[in-house]
Structure 1
């Protein structure tokens, strides 16, 4: 029995998963982000993130240097340069014809819809949607990055949350729970102390994106400012889905609309307005919670690439051992 490698590369972390070709997950490892290759030192950071995540997975799987039957990577900001850099790390572990490099929206789609015709929208540190119809036509929308897009992302939600807090603090907007939430989060005494933390060189975009959880918590507590921010994010993410769906052919099909990324952990305040707007635009769609996370979507594609039949036994093995992956999240 052989092994496959599945890699889920986001804007915050790179997750590697090793499984046997019967679907049994053996190990998972985490590394840093691998994208934004225009930044100083980013090329080495990309390779280090890949090495760290792979080595972590190999250690947990109790494996040495092995050859994988197939490797699938789903990477945020996928580019030819990134592919080249990662290939330099993995070339000793897989033959080139079995090295499959994809945008992270592809593995998110495979996981979210179970590989069926539909659309997946990622609301993570960034945002992007991918539609795949029954004829294997693909269309990607969004993914423009934090300068030109990423509407509905955790990063944008966090920025809007910070803005809502400062407006409230100044008296330019009604009171919001975000002021106290931010003060508590940073363990400081005043919002101006939060200002110092946010503008410190130690905080990067991934750190800022984590503040979106405070907005989600506030929305679930009924805070008006937080509810408005989450509703706006839901609208932007729905627009990504609708635009992507319009670029492919779902005629005679029931497209499955699914999601990926941390913003959906906020629950009803973002899910309900998103679902409502999508169904108004695509009434024949089925809006569902993800069948699998993107990491398992990558694993499913890796097994398919290794010519493994995804029968009940293989799917059951994935289900029985998926906790190994989820512990890393």
Structure 2
């Protein structure tokens, strides 16, 4: 790298998309945020069109023309899980003409890079859903299909919320064990019974979308000592531990001091019952592993990947991290 070059960093999640226009000195010129752009939800064509509009908005925010040379675009999208999905998305994005070179992959890789500089690392995201990827210093990667129950996945905020509702319903009508989730779920919706919640959602009197917020109810009830809720949290911890340790074993990292990066809303919430159990499980498998919950947004990782690819300095990487730690995206 002989002179300062521009790059694009994109993190396209299920609920939001961040696009950053920055340079190889670590300076941020444009930072915009828009709706989710997962190709799994929108389809590839619609997802790329959405990101294309955000790229244009980032250039406008930087007061740069659409024709300004951009050396690199690092694009990480939710729902791009299978190799074929990566290939199709990469071809569609390369056809946009945003940059001179591109890399496209799953957004969990961006989370990983945001959380560590180590070449040996595993990342697990537990937000609305759950996913895990890993990488080794020799370039090998590990990943899972992350396609839900058909792919063997278990957990994530939406799944945990549905289990809170399921156990509350069964606890109230007697099909399942007694649980404090009964009272907590009814109170969460301002109802006297879980049956009233069920009827309200079924008849459209209560928004079904509010069911997703029950994951926090589950954790609160578990923290208060409820056995049913604690079993669900323990299962989630074991699933996250299994993903991380299986990925590490695939890459031959078990006895190395590799990094485990944890992210997503469920893990960032800092629930001690969950996070402590993951720590203990991973350390029992890999005593030299180092675990951390990443606070930086995944778009930071996309930007760091761009700096890596363009041969930028460590000072530039530190500058980019610092700039994005305080930057506020322009909402579109």
TM-score range, shorter chain: 0.7 to 0.9
Give 1:286's aligned residue.
Answer: 290
1:34 maps onto 2:38 in alignment: yes
Aligned pair partner of 1:107 in 88, 107, 110: 110
Contact 1:5/1:18 (8 A) holds in 2? yes
Structure 2 match to 1:231? 234
CA-atom RMSD in angstroms:
3.1
Does the CA-based 8 Å contact 1:31-1:53 persist in structure 2?
A: no
Give the equivalent residue in structure 2 for 1:94. 99
Aligned ranges for residues 1-329 of structure 1 at < 5 Å? 1-25=4-28, 26-36=30-40, 42-58=43-59, 60-65=61-66, 66-78=68-80, 79=85, 80-88=87-95, 91-95=96-100, 98-141=101-144, 143-171=146-174, 172-177=176-181, 179-181=183-185, 183-184=187-188, 186=189, 190-195=193-198, 209-250=212-253, 253-264=256-267, 265-290=269-294, 292-311=296-315, 314-324=317-327
Unaligned runs of 5+ in 2: none
CA distance in 2 between partners of 1:62 and 1:187 (Å): 49
* DSSP-derived class of the 2:234 partner: helix
Contact 2:257–2:290 (Cα < 8 Å) also in 1: yes
Following superposition, the deviation at residue 124 of structure 1 comes to 2.1
Which ranges of structure 1 fall in alignment gaps of 5 or more residues?
none
1:20 shift after superposition: 2.8
Provide TM-score, normalisation by structure 1.
0.82
Please identify, of 253-262 and 169-178, the stretch whose mean Cα deviation from structure 2 is larger.
169-178
Residue 182 of structure 1, CA deviation = 5.7
Secondary structure of the residue aligned to 1:288 is strand
Check whether the contact 2:18–2:31 (CA below 8 A) recurs between aligned residues.
no
Report if aligned partners of 1:6, 1:17 keep a CA contact under 8 Å in 2.
yes
The answer as to whether partners of 2:48 and 2:92 remain within 8 angstroms in 1 is yes
User: Offset at 1:292?
Assistant: 3.9
Q: 1:21-62: CA deviations, max 9, x gaps?
A: 22233313122232326xxx6345423432454355445445
1:202: how far off?
A: 7.5
Of 260-269 and 244-253, the range deviating more from structure 2 = 244-253
- Normalising by structure 2, what TM-score? 0.82
